[in-house]
Amino acid sequence: MPTLDTMPPALSDAQRAALDMLMSRHSPWPLTEPAPSAPELDLVFQAALRAPDHGQLRPWRFIVIRGDARHALAKVFARAARARDPDGNAERFASKALSAPVLIALGVRIVHGHKVPASEQVLAVGAGVMNMLNALHVLGYGGFWASGLNSRDPLVRRELGLDAGDELIGFLYVGTPKDRSDRGAARPDPDACVSEWTGPAAP
């Protein structure tokens, strides 16, 4: 498959710059101040809502946690961890709430019994989160999408204000990468993941 170095010269400078930016996105860690401003976060959410939304169900439920609210979330994480395992390390889970200047809880408001299956509604939110990650990267920030036990805990979901039928598919950690070098995980060659279908195999 072509790379940026082997693409046809008809690509404009703007197209090449956009693709260069897209290809350089990774998930940096750790993240620190500064965090995106309110207008910048608004742009990030606008990008999220450009994701495909079959049935116009608008399943996105993004909950921003920043400032002192992160300490309140840490207490929720600790309480949930103790309920799951009284002998476990609750502080390990609590510390995750303070791992970035901004956290965004990623909720899905699922309409059950609709012709659009629940899986597609979850995918719509996932597509929105990918748009957010790309927008953060373009703006010069980092985003790290994590799930884990906190995102599957009904107590955490309830304390965040999500309904019992909603899903929490993770947390987006947002801030400025401490390390600006592009040291993300190596990506596989597309040829290992892409094939072309030319019709049914002969019987």
**From its phi and psi, is residue 62 left (phi > 0), alpha (psi between -120 and 50) or beta?**
beta
Average pLDDT (184-198) is 86
In a domain, 5, yes or no: no
Q: In whole numbers, what is the pLDDT of the chain averaged over residues?
A: 93
Average pLDDT (176-202) is 85
For residue 107, the Cα-to-chain-centroid distance in whole angstroms is 11
More confident: 132 or 4: 132
In a domain, 137, yes or no: yes
Q: How many CB atoms within 10 Å of residue 95?
A: 13
65-108 pLDDT tens trace: 999 999 999 999 999 999 999 999 999 999 999 999 999 999 99
SS3 189: coil
Q: Tell me the CATH number at 168.
A: 3.40.109.10
In a domain, 57, yes or no: yes
149-187 pLDDT tens trace: 999 999 999 999 999 889 999 999 999 999 877 666 677
In a domain, 123, yes or no: yes
In a domain, 73, yes or no: no
In a domain, 163, yes or no: yes
| Residue span of the structural domain in which 171 resides | 29-63+100-180
In a domain, 88, yes or no: no
1-12 pLDDT tens trace: 455 666 667 889
Instruction: Give the DSSP letter of residue 201.
Output: P
For residue 96, the Cα-to-chain-centroid distance in whole angstroms is 16
Check residue 1 and give its pLDDT.
44
Domain count, the chain: 1
Check residue 8 and give its pLDDT.
65
